[in-house]
Amino acid sequence: MRTGLVAKKIGMTRVFAADGAHVPVTVLSLEGCQVVGVKKDEEREVDVKKKGEKTGTRKANDGYTAVVLGAGTRKAKNVSKSLRGQFAKASVEPKAVVREFRVSNDMLLEVGAQISADHFVSGQKVDVVGLTKGKGFAGAMKRWNFGGLEASHGVSVSHRSHGSTGQRQDPGRTFKGKKMAGHLGVERVTTQNLEIVRTDAGRGLILIKGAVPGPDNGWVEIRDAAKGKPHKDAPKPAALVKKEG
């Protein structure tokens, strides 16, 4: 199981296939996706510090294997103290977002490694995770696709209402989780089996067929498709940006 990527959604456009057909695509930018930490399922010794000074060591075990990725940039003053320490330990600049990806033991990466857009290949299926657009307070028809009340037969004023929400005297209450009007959007949504149309390692761009969750300039996670076979040409453990010099 390989690591995924953290990318920024730039927007949508279209590209043309070999037969002239236009393909709608979402453009994602990597924005310096870099490894800022690793989790290992093995015991190791770590320093014990008190007030910034080392007082000894202890044994620690994360209990699972994962890669911690950061992307984007942020001013150090706007980053929490714990994250500043993590970035300093990894010798990387403060990142705007930090995400964790479970990986196999043989797919771990070195801290500080920067991942390239060639991590995915054309034709590969991926899953994309993002926060949906916030739409504020919405009625039941828009939020849950209710049909609304009838347009006639005695219904007045309340055509778009959700109707009854409870039962009779027994149980005499509205059950928790009832679909009603309320806040719509800002939910973590996964869109599965989207196709990689093209990658541009030089500019750090990934073009995915169709739409992905979230607004423009929002951050998304891209993973190998959970319901598909791994692509034979996908680099393992990852495609990395070569360091200059």
Total domain count, the chain: 2
pTM for the whole structure: 0.82
> Are 106 and 205 contained in the same domain?
yes
Give the whole-angstrom CA distance, residue 151 versus residue 159.
6
Q: Does residue 90 lie within any of the structural domains?
A: yes
Q: What is the pLDDT of residues 5-51, one digit of tens each?
A: 999 999 999 999 888 899 999 999 998 889 998 888 777 777 777 76
> Are 180 and 112 contained in the same domain?
no
Q: What is the pLDDT of residues 198-238, one digit of tens each?
A: 999 889 999 999 999 999 999 999 999 999 888 888 888 88
Give the whole-angstrom CA distance, residue 33 versus residue 37.
12
Q: How many CB atoms lie within 10 A of CB 113?
A: 16
- As beta bridge partners, residue 46 has 58
| Alpha carbon separation from 163 to 132, 153, 160, 237 (Å, rounded) | 27, 15, 9, 54
> Are 117 and 40 contained in the same domain?
yes
Is residue 122 predicted with pLDDT exceeding 60?
A: yes
| Alpha carbon separation from 90 to 50, 65, 196, 202 (Å, rounded) | 21, 18, 31, 24
Range of the domain at 10: 5-49+57-134+188-224
> Are 95 and 211 contained in the same domain?
yes
> Are 105 and 154 contained in the same domain?
no
Is residue 245 predicted with pLDDT exceeding 60?
A: no
